[in-house]
Chains A and B, each alone.
Chain A
């Protein structure tokens, strides 16, 4: 049987190499058309390349790829041209696309002024490794993202894709489980539970039917790692899920993907079809006696359905509401059968571990959290996007070297790490090496890898309120603490941001927060208070300013600020602010200087934005100016 699998795999791989060789020697244009690229106009850019190449009768292959992680520079284009290093261009618009065709593809000017980096070392242009980001990044699961066409299985096969599956099929299932256990792979969905242990429990469970499920119900505000992986390299996840299925003795796998990810679902569906055509998926995987197939289940987008028992309930046609554990799904899961549920990222590591070995995996990261961590950098960081760094990298490196620091060179205030139920860590935590355990100790969590950077313009009370509002809305309502406790906390926080907080509110928030963590049924409730508890721990003075001085130190909470015009800076000749005001609150005084009717002002920020590049005369102040008696009326 081993020989059959090996032979079948070799045939597939050789076919794939043959297939891609037809364009490998000629010029080709790769356009990143994952969701991030599309949002920035990648489809229009793709269209220009296709049309221009055809109009000019150029022998150039134009293809779609996924996301390289540099979402701040979308749309991204990579051009391979014989005689030149492969070059990556960022923020490509239709004009640049035309120039690249006429100047570079038609002629030989690589347009270095539009280029971001080269993909291979050369004498002409720096590579990503020459920038700090490239030095600290170590890509495993993101390695091929943005470089291969996710809708072409041959490109995955040509890069050794599915070789780990072929290798696993020549092992005993228990050996595969032992490898993953030995590699100390921990679940990347958030909790960091040892994947091998989960597989072992399911492997040992006696049942004629077992299931493996890929959890792609990513729903954290600010997180998009799973979506990017599915859109950029779906076969990698499929291969991981198949190996999981083989290891635990399942013949059926599912992708639980939220319906809000239509492109991920389309690309996944295409990938599954292609794998079936090649005999990779089906009754006899690569000619072995292992039969396995995968179905896609579209979840309708309830955040709590990422929780294992709620996910199962939702797949069974019931409301997506969590149940008490134990029994754990690995013992009694989907339809009462032993079921392994792993996150997209967790499964993406599996083929690499099987292919390159346990020692290789353990040589990366920290002893208790080996491997890399994938983060979605968002918020006030310059280079938003996906980054993959070894576990144990510090927050400082991640934000300042990989993410290129804070927008507009503003001072750093905090980082919200781990999604809506993570925690906000202050500047003193910047040198914390990030791994599952260190973050938990600091009061945050790895979560699924969302990382929102906050600057001095962000009010920590408002940030806590924002995240709690999200979890409160996403609470399924089943259990008392989560349903009513988060609502009570949200009401208190809302009052504080409006300047209606009471001195005893902070203690009440702490008490409720701790009780909700201890008393809730599922992890949504058990972690929901984290943003509130950590912001109180590290930024208590901001809460106190709101409550005692009715002042928002970050000038963010609308009820606690006023817009005023500094007469010393205001120009008599300009009335841009007057024109920008939607409610006629800004007016011209007899001396031609401008002023604001405080009672009319709706704090929309238009006048400030308009004046900023001109005179910087409009400023926000807190506490707000008293409106009594009309304030600054003429």
Chain B
């Protein structure tokens, strides 16, 4: 039997299953923590988007909540000057490599970046950083959806679903550093790959990188 523990997040006491990751414990109790790459069912957290920072009493530095298992009596703050600063920089860095123009984006209103901006009072435009967005062709070869790499934030949700849920394995991360991107094997178009066009990746994309054609047409 799994044990229940009591933890405190932002002065609110909540009961959660022992060992659960803090990020999911918070989200399921209505406490928002910015996040993009977290997959609850994943065996090992990716911890790559670096947005879900919180301060935990007794720990010297902010930690990512997706990697931290809850323990009895844990006291957590989702906001603090240090957390806010890290989240702001992480958010700005992602924006610097994400093609903006929300008005023309199919995910306008449903985008995780917009939610983050709203919750944390962040601007959806670049102020101190320069744009690193590269012009990349949109892959609209599938019947029902399209992929725009210039809006991709490399959260890996689509890759995880493709590999672990529908078990197709059509897409994955390729290349390193600034060239890292989601692509098919051999960088062929999705329609030419082993992609079955099941659309599960589109459902999990938190931004406007993978969008359904119905959404495409409406804009």
Binding site for B on A (CB under 8 A): 302, 319, 323-324, 472-481, 483-485, 487-488, 491, 504, 508, 511-512, 515, 518-521
Contacts and interface: CB of A to CB of B under 8 A. Distances in A.
A324 B44 contact: yes
Given A323-B44, A508-B128, A480 B90 contact: yes
B144 interface: no
Contacts of B191: none
B142 to A, nearest CB: 25
Contacts of B45: 324
Interface stretch (B48-56, B73-81, B111-119, B204-212): B48-56
B178 interface: yes
Nearest to A324: B47
28 contacts: A302-B176, A319-B173, A324-B64, A474-B177, A476-B180, A477-B176, A477-B177, A477-B180, A478-B48, A480-B49, A480-B50, A480-B94, A483-B154, A483-B177, A483-B180, A484-B93, A484-B94, A484-B132, A485-B89, A488-B132, A491-B132, A504-B128, A512-B89, A515-B89, A519-B53, A519-B89, A519-B90, A520-B50
B175 A519 contact: no
Nearest to A488: B129
Contact of A487 (B53, B89, B132, B175): B132
B195 interface: no
A480 B50 CA distance: 6
A519 B94 CA distance: 13
Interface in B82-109: 82, 85-86, 89-90, 93-94, 96-97
A478 B49 CA distance: 8
B135 interface: no
Interface in B115-138: 128-130, 132
B48 A480 contact: yes
Interface string B141-183: 0000000000000100000000000000000010111111000
B61 interface: yes
A521 B85 CA distance: 17
B47 A480 contact: no
B197 interface: no
B193 interface: no
Nearest to A474: B177
Given A475-B177, A477-B177, A479-B49, 18 more contacts: A324-B47, A324-B67, A477-B176, A477-B178, A477-B180, A479-B48, A480-B50, A484-B132, A488-B96, A488-B129, A504-B128, A512-B89, A515-B86, A515-B89, A518-B61, A518-B82, A518-B86, A519-B86
B22 to A, nearest CB: 13
Nearest to A487: B178
Nearest to A302: B176
A518 B175 contact: no
B62 A491 contact: no
Contacts of A319: 173, 176
A491 to B, nearest CB: 6
Contacts of A475: 176-178
B62 A518 contact: yes
B76 to A, nearest CB: 18
A434 B85 CA distance: 34
A481 B178 contact: no
A519 B128 CA distance: 18
A472 B128 CA distance: 20
The 6 closest A-B pairs by CB, nearest first: A477-B180, A484-B93, A324-B47, A515-B89, A477-B177, A475-B177
A114 B132 CA distance: 57
A314 to B, nearest CB: 12
Nearest to B86: A519
Nearest to B156: A478
Interface string B55-76: 0000001101001000000000
A472 to B, nearest CB: 7
Contacts of A504: 128
Contact of B176 (A476, A491, A508, A519): A476
B51 A480 contact: yes
A488 B177 CA distance: 13
A386 B48 CA distance: 38
**Which residue among A319, A478, A511 has the maximum number of chain B CB atoms within 10 Å of its CB?**
A478
Contacts of A302: 176
A484 B67 contact: no
A521 B50 contact: yes
B98 to A, nearest CB: 10
A525 B178 CA distance: 14
Contacts of A473: 177
A476 B178 CA distance: 8
Given A324-B67, A484-B132, A472 B177 contact: yes
